A and B are shown apart, each in its own frame.
Chain A
Amino acid sequence: MRIRFACFLVALLGVLAVAAIASTPADTLVVGVVEEVTTMDPAIDYTFGSGPFFRAAYERLVTFNTTSGKIEPQLALSWDVSDDGKFYTFHLRKGVTFHDGAAFDAAAVKTAYDRVMAINEGPAWMLTSYVDSIDVLDDATIRFTMKTYPFVPFLRVLSSYWGMCIASPTAITQNAGDDMGKAFFRNHIVGTGPYKLVEWVEGQQMVFERFDGYWGGWAGDHVKRIVLRKILDTTTMALLLESGDLDIAYGIPLDELTSLNGKPGVVVGVHDTFTTNMIAMNTTKGPLADVRVRRALSYSFDYASAMEVFAGYTTPLIGQIPTGMPGHDDSLPHYVFNLDVAKQLLIEAGYGNGLSLEYTWVTEEPEGRRVGVLWQDTLRKIGVDLKVTEVTVAGHWDRVSNIETMPDLANYRWGIDYPDPSSVLVPLYHGDSAPPAGYNLSRFADPRVNAVLDASGKEADETKRLQLLAEAQSLLLTGASNIWITAVPVTVCMRSNVQGYVFEPAAFSSFNFYDIYKK
């Protein structure tokens, strides 16, 4: 009996061993991601979860080159901007087809963008705020007429993958139904990109296959299939990468990287994004309405030690614009940790005997807790009692959008909508951007900042524009509306045989799949 049972166990384990582990095939790229979208519709999705597949399957008129900081052609070959900035005319690439065989032309662009604007959800504001109308001039020429002009960053807006991905006009018309195709595009992708969607098993995985009719052609090294596996638990994701069941693992938290560092066959990648982490100071009421107190707090923050929260993978942010984005300037003045100065400023402001402040951090952004606890310790030395409160992302928005419930200090992140400094400075610091209109949580309202920001949106001369941006940043530093901590790093770890990946801070969750291959 016992022997029979033992034999059975051995046999069972043998069968399992054969059935279980297989490393990924050479022509297939398997990517582990934590986040999954709830709709694939380019007119609606406004999340980082779509990053991985939008660039595989959809294309835009133009793209942003992170290295040069310039706008480059994608479906548009070239463009002219009228002198007054009212008209943007694009000359389109010819011989491009959609996954469903429809031809790409000017009418397709108009159909796609008109749909985004008509649905008017999520990312649509990036078109509706600036574009008055879109006109087909001929098959290969399309003209955007602007509502407000000049608006210099418009080309960069068009390079965003939110709302700017162009879907097939045939698919749009045929599946319009009574909801403008929302039900269809929720789980279908019909773009011009190099890979087409084959299967989406919700909660599990998305499978993409090479689109044979891709205009870029398939010469050179490319993979045939891409599998995006949803893996919620990042510890497990690290195990899968180590064992070779994943080629790329996206989004393993920084403090979990130690398990992968130095493992054979694994390349750990940590990159600074264009998303920034900061603390908004409530400038409208309480002690923080006094700029001296805000400056004191800016001096009381130990920037270098705070980097330990990010496992030492990043550096303190200088100015408000993250490194790599046009307008970032390392020579800007910035606050350094100095408790004596902080104490002095508090005494000047009449808080020599100390004060008590509330600091909130968002559950989904865990760096906020550790930043808060570290700071709490430091602040105690100058008589400031910091109450650290956790809020959910929903609770955070509830509190910050109402001036009555806005905490003294709120830790938060800001990710850009399009790769231009205006996507950082305007929604965060323009006086008109107080919630719910924007994300100016400090309610910082300095007419000089507003004027400089307005002017920078209209300044076509790049050098002059950069001067204006530098001026805005200096004014913000003087006004101490926020404590600027760092650019938030993300991790992209991969097997060492994966080649061709280029990190793009503007669209950090995206992958240049067309250029990625396995050795």
Chain B
Amino acid sequence: MARYIVKRLALLTITLLGVLTLTFFVSHVVPGDPARLAAGVRARPEQVEALRTRLGLDRPLWQQYGRYIAGVVRGDLGESIRTRRPVSADLAEYFPATVELTVFAMVLCLLIGIPFGIISAVKRESVIDHVSRVAATAAVSMPTFWLGLLLQLLFFRWLQILPATGRLGFYLSPPAHATGLYVVDSLLSGNWTALGDSFVHLILPGAALAASSIAVITRMTRSSLLEILSLDYVRTARSKGLAEKVVILKHALRNALLPSLTVIGLQVGVLLAGAVLIEVVFSWPGIGLYAVQSITFVDFQAILGVTLITAIVYSGVNLIVDVLYGVIDPRIHY
């Protein structure tokens, strides 16, 4: 197992290098002069040139690439030309917000998706199965940002029970910084007001973000559980006179979860991608919002930083999923 993980980590660095190389060259092909944008369109030509030299943008592309990769190896992600500070400082500021949002969404996915999948499979063709099918189709086909706006309209505007934007109400200051996750930080510092407020702020963006993934996980759990339930060993278990609850939860579910696990791992990528839109709709100050602003500014270093961190998270989660296979299914050895 340890050898397998080490091998995967080695492969991961190659993947990351590939991702960075591709992003580097693609983002440099996009039209737009970053030095001109950073200096401001009204800046004098000599100001633009001075900035270009300072940012190293006057060097040949391969040299810029070499310097960038060398920097990344040293842990230096370069300086954002838009925010004028190290990209690592920007990411440290914005990434925790995205982590908090996606983790919350993932928790929603698991808490809602798996139980509903089980119920739909067990009570196949029942009302609840039909309702969950319709809901799943709707959730998958509705654009995330649109759902976000609908939720805002319903819960913020009409029912007036949930806030629409941001991580905290304007009258509150963020809790003492430890992890950057407001829920965790306010728990750690015992700041109960901030805890309640930051949790409440998570609900709408989290739900909007999670909706389509919940649907996918529900359907996946349902179909794989149905398949397992038709197998001989389940019939054997039933014929032994085991309680239906035990048959489903102990015997069938464990095997049925395996395909769901793959899907859950993939959904992390979906959630990270969806966060870009959701963060804009909910003014959620995460890396999605940061990426959107960096892209319009042709802020290479920032775009690369976001790409790198997203690639690491995505590959990391997939590695964890693969390792979990072995835990859930003893037949799988690495």
Taking beta carbons and an 8 Å cutoff, which residues of A are in contact with B? 13, 15-17, 19-22, 24-25, 28, 30, 38-39, 44, 46-47, 120-122, 124-125, 182-183, 186, 199, 201-205, 227, 229-233, 235-236, 239-240, 242-243, 245, 363-364, 391-395, 397-399, 401, 417, 427, 436-437, 439
Contacts and interface: CB of A to CB of B under 8 A. Distances in A.
Given A22-B169, A186-B85, A239-B152, A394 B31 contact: yes
The residue in B51, B94, B156 that gathers the most chain A C-beta atoms within 10 A of its C-beta is B156
Contacts of A397: 32-33, 36-37, 41
Contacts of B171: 22, 25, 28
Contacts of A30: 170
9 contacts: A19-B197, A20-B161, A24-B170, A46-B40, A186-B85, A203-B290, A233-B283, A239-B164, A439-B42
Contacts, number: 154
Contact of A20 (B163, B166, B281, B289): B163
A28 B171 CA distance: 9
A235 B37 contact: no
Contact of B165 (A21, A186, A240, A436): A240
Q: Is the interface of A mostly helix, strand, loop or mixed?
A: mixed
Contact of B156 (A125, A243, A436): A243
A125 B47 CA distance: 9
B84 interface: yes
B174 interface: yes
Contact of A16 (B157, B162, B281, B290): B162
Nearest to A16: B161
A232 B283 contact: yes
Given A22-B169, A232-B283, A243 B36 contact: no
A170 B84 CA distance: 24
A260 B160 CA distance: 18
Contact of A205 (B36, B42, B160, B170): B170
Given A16-B200, A186-B84, A393-B41, 17 more contacts: A16-B203, A22-B169, A25-B171, A38-B84, A46-B40, A46-B43, A204-B285, A205-B166, A233-B280, A233-B281, A236-B282, A239-B156, A392-B31, A394-B33, A394-B298, A395-B31, A397-B33
A205 B319 CA distance: 37
A519 to B, nearest CB: 20
Contacts of B36: 394, 397, 401, 436
| Top 3 closest pairs, chain A to chain B, by CB | A394-B32, A203-B285, A395-B31
Size bracket, chain B contacts: 35 or more
A30 B48 CA distance: 37
Contacts of A363: 296
Interface in B1-53: 30-34, 36-37, 39-45, 47-48, 50-51
B162 A20 contact: yes
Interface string B292-326: 00001110000000000000000000000000000
B39 A202 contact: no
Interface of B: 30-34, 36-37, 39-45, 47-48, 50-51, 82-85, 93-94, 97, 149, 152-153, 156-157, 160-171, 173-174, 196-197, 200, 203, 280-283, 285, 289-290, 296-298
A38 B39 CA distance: 12
Nearest to B197: A19
A392 B296 contact: yes
A384 to B, nearest CB: 27
B289 A203 contact: yes
The residue in B43, B170, B285 that gathers the most chain A C-beta atoms within 10 A of its C-beta is B170
Contacts of A19: 196-197, 200
Given A25-B171, A236-B152, A239-B164, A393 B157 contact: no
B283 A437 contact: no
Contacts of A417: 42
Nearest to B153: A239
A5 to B, nearest CB: 12
Contacts of B160: 17, 20-21, 243
A437 B34 CA distance: 17
Nearest to B281: A233
A242 B157 contact: yes
Contacts of B31: 391-392, 394-395, 398-399
A122 B33 contact: no
A21 B163 contact: yes
A203 B84 contact: no
A393 B297 CA distance: 8
Given A19-B200, A397-B36, A38 B283 contact: no
